[in-house]
Structure 1
Amino acid sequence: MKTDNSAMDWLRIPVGDWVEAGLDWFKVAFDSFLDVVGFVMNWLVAELSDVLISTPFFLLIIVLALIGWLVRSWQFAAGTVITLTAIVAMGQWENAMYTLALVLIATIIAVAIAVPLGIWAARNDRVSAVLKPILDFMQTMPAFVYLIPAVIFFTIGFAPGVFATIIFSLPPGVRFTELGIRGVDSETVEAGYAFGAKPGAILRGIQLPLAMPTIMAGINQVIMLALSMAVVAGMAGANGLGKEVIASISTLNVSKGVEAGLGVVLLAVFLDRVTAALGAPGDFKHSLRAQFSRKRSAPASRPAAATPVAV
C-alpha cells in the first residue's frame, strides 16, 4: 500500500534546509578563521606524523614499550613490542602512525576543551543543565553526519578528520570531568575552605587530584571514540588506517581491510591500557618506578655508634 506523502507536506519542517543555510552562512562569514584553523590542524597532524614516520620503527617501539613498563608492568611492555611488531609485519606501520598522529592531536584538543567545560559544569548547575542536552545530541548523532560540516569547512585532508573526531569524542570528557568533580567528598572541600583556601586552590589541591581517576576514565573514552572516528575520517581523505579500510571496502579487498582493522585494534589496546594505568594509581605497584622507590626507601647508612662520655 503506497503512502500519499502530499497529504503530509503541510506538516514538513525544513530543518535540513535551515541547517544547510546556517552552515553556508558560517562558511562565508568565518572563512578566514576556518582557513587558519584548518591550516593549523593540518600542520599539527602532518608534523607529528612526519616525526613518527621518520623515526626508525624499532626505536619508536622501544620507547613505547618503556612507557608501558613505567606505567604498568614489564608484561605489558613485552606485549607492546609484540603487537607493534605485528603492525610492522602487516605493512601498516606508516598508516598506523598517520592514525596515531590524528588521534593524539584530536585528543589533546578535545581534552583541552572538555576538562574546563566539565569543571565549569560541576561548579555551576545552570551550565550543567545547558550542556546536558547538547552533549546528548553530540553523542547520539551518527558519526558520518559530522563529516558533512567538516568537509564543507575544511575541504579534504587531515583537518576535517580532526574536526569531526573532536566533536564526536568530546562529550565523555565533559561528562566524566563533571562527575569526578561533583563526586569529591563535600566534607573534604569544606575543610579546605575552613583553613582559608580560595576556590582556585580548592580546585587545584583537592578536587582535581581526587577526581583524577574519573577524569582519566573520561580521557580513555575520548581516545577510544577518537580512534573509532579516525577510521570514518578516512572518507574525508585523511591518510591512515581509516583510508585503508575505506579503500578495502570499495575494492572488496578482504586482506587489506583485515590488516588495517587489526592495526586500529592494536593501537586501541595500547592506548587504552596506558590511560587506564594512569587513571588507577594502584597499577603502578609493579612498575619500574615502584621498584626505584623501594630501593630509595632502603636504609642508606648504618646508625653511628654511641660515643662514651668521659667522667
Structure 2
Amino acid sequence: MASNFPEIIDLRSLRFAIDDGFTAVVANYGEFLEHLFLPVLRGLMILEQILQWLPWYVTIVLVTGITLAASRNWKTALVTAIMLFAVGLLGVWDEAMATIALMLASTILAIVLGIPIGVLMAQSNKLRAACLPVLDIMQTMPIFVYLIPFVMLFGPGKIPALLATVFFAIPPVIRLTDLGIRQVDSEVVEAIVAFGATSWQKLLRAQLPLAMPTIMAGINQTTMMALSMVVIASMIGAGGLGYQVLQGIQRLEVSTGLFAGLAIVFLAIIFDRIAQSLGRRSQQHLKDGE
C-alpha cells in the first residue's frame, strides 16, 4: 500500500491565493500593461513587415553580407546563403521572416535588459547572491510555464509570445556579463583607476571591452534560446515557423512539420555562426591589443 506524504501545507488554499492574486493583477493593471507594451508590438510588427516586404534575394544578400563581415570567411557566408535559399525552397519564407522578426526583437530586448543587470551583479555581491537563485529557477522552469502569466495578462498574440521569450532567454546574457566582468584582470582595473578613471570610465573603457568575448558567448546562448522559445510560443499566437510545426502535429502532416523544422535548424545554424564569429573576433581584438 502506497504511503501518502503528509499534508503539512494547505496547498488548495495556497493555489487559490496565487490564482486570485494574479487575477486581481490582470483586472487592475491588464489594460495599463497592454498600453505600455503597445510600442513594442508596433516595433515588432514593423520589423516583421519589413522582412516580409524585402525581396528574398535582397534578404539573402544582406544576411550573407552580415555573416561575411562578422566571420571574414567566404565559406561561412556561402553556407549562410545556401541555407537561406533552402528556406525559400521549402516554401516557408514568410513564416521564417516572422520567426526572425520575433527572435531578433526578443533577443534585442533580452540584451538591453540583461547586460545592465549583469553589470550591476558584477558590482554587488549581495545583488549577485539574490539574483543567482532566481536565474537558476528561470533556467530550470519548464518552457510552457512561461506562457501562462503572459497569456493571462495580454491574451493570445505576439506580445505574450515576445515577453515569454525574453524571460526564457535572458538568463545566459545576465550570467555571462556578470562572469565576464568579474574575470577581468584586477591589475588592469587598478591601473586605470590609478590614472584617475571614474567608475563609468572604468566600466566602459576596461571592464566591458575585456569582458566582451564572454558577453558575446552569453548573447549567442540567448539568441539560440530565443529561437527555441519562439517555436513554443506559436501555441499562443506567435505565428511563424513554430505555427507550421504545430499545424503538422494537429493535422498529422509529417511534411509540414519536417519542412518547418528544417527551416528552424537552418536559421539556428546561421545565427549561431554569426554570433560565434563576432565572439571570436572580439577575442582576437583583445589578443592583438595585448
Question: What TM-score, normalized to structure 1?
Answer: 0.87
Q: What aligned pairs does 1:130-209 form with structure 2 within 5 A after superposition?
A: 130-209=130-209
Equivalent in the alignment of 1:27: 26
Q: Which amino acid aligns with 1:105?
A: A
Within 5 Å, give how 1:44-63 maps onto structure 2. Answer: 44-63=43-62
TM superposition shift of 1:11: 4.1
1:31-90: CA deviations, max 9, x gaps? 233112342332222111100000000111011111111111111111111100000000
Report the Cα offset of residue 26 of structure 1: 1.7
Q: Which letter maps to 1:13? A: L
**Are 1:92 and 2:99 an aligned pair?**
no
Query: Once the two structures are superposed, what CA deviation does each residue of 1:165-204 show, in whole Å capped at 9, x if it has no partner?
Result: 0110011111000000000000100001111111110000
**1:2 positional shift:** 6.4
> Who is 2:213 aligned against?
213
Please say if 1:101 is aligned against 2:66.
no
Aligned amino acid, residue 58 of structure 1: Y
Tell me if the contact between 1:139 and 1:168 (Cα under 8 Å) persists in the aligned partners. yes
Which segment is superposed worse, 67-76 or 202-211?
67-76
Is the Cα contact below 8 Å between 1:42 and 1:157 reproduced in 2?
A: no
Distance 1:40 1:162 in 2: 13
Judged with a 3 Å threshold, the aligned counterparts in structure 2 of structure 1 residues 175 and 10 are, in CA distance, closer, same or farther, namely: closer
TM-score computed with the length of structure 2 as normaliser: 0.93
SS in 1 for 2:91: coil
Taking the aligned partners of 1:8 and 1:251, their CA distance within structure 2 comes to 44
Q: Distance in 1 between matches of 2:185 and 2:2?
A: 61
Judge conservation of contact 1:35–1:154 (CA < 8 Å) in 2.
yes
Larger deviation, residues 269-278 vs 205-214: 269-278
Is there any run of 5+ residues in structure 1 with no aligned partner, and where? 286-311
Distance, in Å, in 2 between the alignment partners of 1:134 and 1:21 is: 23
Is the alpha carbon distance of 1:221 and 1:39 closer, same or farther for their aligned partners in structure 2, counting shifts above 3 Å? same
Post-superposition CA distance 1:241-273 (Å, at most 9, x none): 111111111111100001111111111111111
Find out whether 1:122 has 2:133 as its counterpart.
Answer: no
Q: Does residue 1:13 correspond to 2:11, yes or no?
A: yes
The number of aligned residues is 283
- What letter is aligned with 2:256? K
On the 8 A contact 1:177/1:215 being kept in 2, the answer is yes
Q: Which amino acid aligns with 1:92?
A: V
Question: 1:280 aligns to what SS in structure 2?
Answer: helix
Greater Rg by CA: 1
Q: Tell me, in whole angstroms, the C-alpha distance in 2 between the residues paired with 1:283 and 1:83.
A: 27
- Partners of 1:10 and 1:196 lie apart in 2 by 59
- Show the counterpart of 1:36: 35
- Tell me if structure 2 keeps the 8 A contact 1:245–1:260: yes
CA distance in 2, matches of 1:283, 1:69: 17
Q: What's the RMSD between the two structures over aligned residues?
A: 1.8
Instruction: Give the partner amino acid of 2:144.
Output: F
In structure 2, list runs of 5 or more residues that go unmatched.
Answer: 286-290
Residue 265, structure 1, aligned to residue 265, structure 2: yes
Which position in structure 2 is the counterpart of 1:300? none
Contact 2:212 2:283 in 1 (8 A): no
Q: Is the 8 A contact 1:122 1:179 kept in 2?
A: yes
> 2:213 touches 2:282 (CA, 8 Å); kept in 1?
no
Partner residue in 2 for 1:306? none
The superposition leaves residues 90-115 of structure 1 with CA deviations (integer Å, 9 ceiling, x where unpaired) of: 00110000000000001111111100
